[in-house]
Amino acid sequence: MVRKVAYDAGYRQRVARHKPFITAATRTKRLAWARANKNTNWEGVGWTDEAHIETGERPSHPCVTRKPDEAHLTKSVAPTFQSGRESISLWSCVAIDYKGPIIRLKTSPITVNAKGQKQGGGLTAQGYIDQVLLGPLPKFLKKVSYSKGLDMRVVEDGAAAHRAKVTQAAQEKLGIRQLPHPPSSPDLNPIEPLWLLLKNRVAKIKGSRNSTEKLWEAAQEAWGSITIKEVNMHTKNMPAQVQAILKAKGGHTAF
Give 44-54 pLDDT, tens digit per residue. Answer: 999 999 999 98
Full domain range(s) for residue 162: 22-58+86-247
Residue 154 placed within a domain? yes
State pLDDT tens for residues 23-39. 999 999 999 999 999 99
Helix (H, G, I), strand (E, B) or coil at 72: coil
Q: Is 225 contained in some domain?
A: yes
In a domain, 254, yes or no: no
CATH number of the domain enclosing 152: 3.30.420.10
Whether 156 is in a domain gets the answer yes
Q: Is residue 230 part of a domain?
A: yes
252 belongs to a structural domain: no
Contact between 91 and 83 (Cβ < 8 Å): no
Element (H, E) at 218: helix 212-225
pTM (predicted TM-score) = 0.79
Structurally, how many domains does the chain consist of? 1
The whole-chain average pLDDT of the chain stands at 85
3-state secondary structure 82-147: CCCCCCEEEEEEEECCEECCCEEECCCCEEECCCCCEEECCCCHHHHHHHHHCCHHHHHHHHHHHH
Q: Is residue 129 part of a domain?
A: yes
The answer to whether residue 78 is domain-embedded is: no
Distance (Å, rounded) from C-alpha 78 to C-alpha 73? 10
